[in-house]
Structure 1
């Protein structure tokens, strides 16, 4: 293993690690094990890892700006979640009729809205959708027809966002109106076969896009116009997402999945040196 790649020590691995997010408020990295139904927390001060078991699949947690705790994608619902003790309360249920679906990935934007994708458990039909959760708690379905909705990414300054259908190996671009309306999605980056498939994503401070490569054993950076720029190899094939963390936002933590593979490092949380700085995550303003 490269000296630039470190496996975070902890007693278990994730079945489907996802949704890492840096919390400056708590000096920790939060991430989830979707299929393992767990929320994880890594303290950057002590290296301690804590976990909470959730009653259903958990796709992500996003910090709240105006209230304690988080907004979380639990099962098919937007929920308010607090820790110690773990308490979960439904805010919106936009997919209750899609019983074979679950939330998969989400990000907040600079208006304090949350953009979240859903997908079928079977990963084989386009029953997933794309949602916007406004600060007033209203959930709006903004697009439909996703098989594996993944990795919303919000660029510096806003104006557009990126979203992925991993099953189609394509990252899409939407123009975002001030009212949160979206243009039709247009292909932005079509993945080559030897890159794997695009999963979670985030922008860095230079406006470049970092993408986790499911099946590609790496994270890749793309220039603002979509050209491949860098690749960091990792000792697991199913790489799912990443976040910049630390006081300088110059540490990158990368999640992975053990589901369906027999690899020593599958499901680990990795720390890598990205060689650049990131952006602080936005919070939900509700």
Structure 2
């Protein structure tokens, strides 16, 4: 039974659990452990998990229109086939930035894949956002930051939310029908001692949810950027949520052990697990990438 209080549903002890996505065709939740080079699947009907080894730091996983998956690796976008665990390179937009890796992604309503990169050392402002659609992968022109998170789209696809994690800011950008970006304004700023904004997700009411790395919580903001709700967790590093289940009314949350010493881990034995809770609102149906 899913309650309003987050509870661990799959013990994976992820170093850096990230990128949860509900895949309706599988009736399952997929996510990654970036630092452990793993792809994970959780089947709620059977309450079982399965994992695959990735050939590098997998920043995200998303379903593709061919029935397989797209996965973001440091060397670029790859096609992943769970049947045999194989990865095949598709796009390499940052071959000139070997210190970067991919960090978060989503599929827009038009089927375009949007993803962000970051400096793996978390020092240089070398993180960019890209758009891949129908065989073409281009840099979007959004400002570079050290750690990108998101993006996420409004229900109609006209607004792009993207995060400067170290800057503790979430931005809102207008997006045209051809995928070009327009005016950018500040959506929300995370105050001191509240953690760092991690992966964003938008619900069916157009409100944005963000994980708070080091903040012990997830937050929900209305479309104007006003804080509506905060849900506390028993672990410090909450990275991102995804809405899943047949009615899209279960919130799944990935968490991380990264940066926690043995004393902290003793106090947070569930750190790195997959959590679930009742968010009181439905999520948006997912899309498949046409890359």
| Farther off after superposition, 81-90 or 32-41 | 81-90
Give the structure 1 partner of residue 35 of structure 2. 35
Task: Using the TM superposition, name which of 180-189 and 86-95 deviates more.
Answer: 180-189
- Residue by residue, what CA displacement relative to the aligned partner does 1:38-66 show, whole Å, maximum 9, x if unpaired? 0000001101100001111101111112x
Are positions 1:233 and 2:232 aligned together? yes
C-alpha change, 1:68 and 1:194, in structure 2 (3 Å) is same
TM-fit CA distance, 1:9: 3.3
Q: TM-score, normalised by structure 2?
A: 0.94
Q: Distance in 2 between matches of 1:167 and 1:140?
A: 24
Q: Show the counterpart of 1:46.
A: 46
In structure 1, the residue matched to 2:6 is: 5
Aligned-pair distance for 1:201? 1.0
Q: Runs of at least 4 residues of structure 1 off by over 3 A?
A: none
Which segments of 5 or more consecutive residues in structure 1 lack a partner in the other structure?
none
In structure 1, what is the Cα distance between the partners aligned to 2:168 and 2:75?
24
The answer as to 2:120 corresponding to 1:121 is yes
1:285 and 1:93 map into 2 onto residues whose CA distance is: 16
Contact persistence 1:151–1:241 (CA under 8 A): no
1:141 matched to 2:120? The reply is: no
Number of aligned positions between the proteins: 282
Matched, 1:272 2:277: yes
Cα gap change, 1:76 to 1:189, in 2 (>3 Å): farther
Contact 2:118 2:148 in 1 (8 A): yes
Q: Secondary structure at the match of 1:52?
A: strand
CA change 1:144–1:92 in 2 (3 A) is farther
Q: CA deviation at 1:8?
A: 1.5
- Residue 113 of structure 2 contacts residue 290 of structure 2 at CA under 8 Å; is this kept in 1? no
Structure 2: tracts of 5 or more residues without a match: none
State the partner residue of 2:175: 176
Counterpart residue number, 1:213: 212
Structure 1: distance between partners of 2:10 and 2:202: 27
> TM-score if structure 1 supplies the norm length?
0.95
| SS of corresponding position for 2:166 | helix
1:1-286 equivalences under 5 Å are: 4-10=5-11, 12-65=12-65, 67-134=66-133, 136-142=134-140, 143-261=142-260, 262=265, 263-286=268-291
Alignment RMSD: 1.3
Distance in 2, matches of 1:88 and 1:64, equals 13
Shift, 1:194, TM fit: 3.6
> 1:260 offset after TM fit, Å?
1.3
State the shift of 1:196 in Å.
Answer: 1.5
Residue 197 of structure 1 and its aligned partner are, at CA, apart by 1.4
Q: CA deviation at 1:144?
A: 4.2
Cα contact 1:127–1:144 (8 A) shared by 2: no
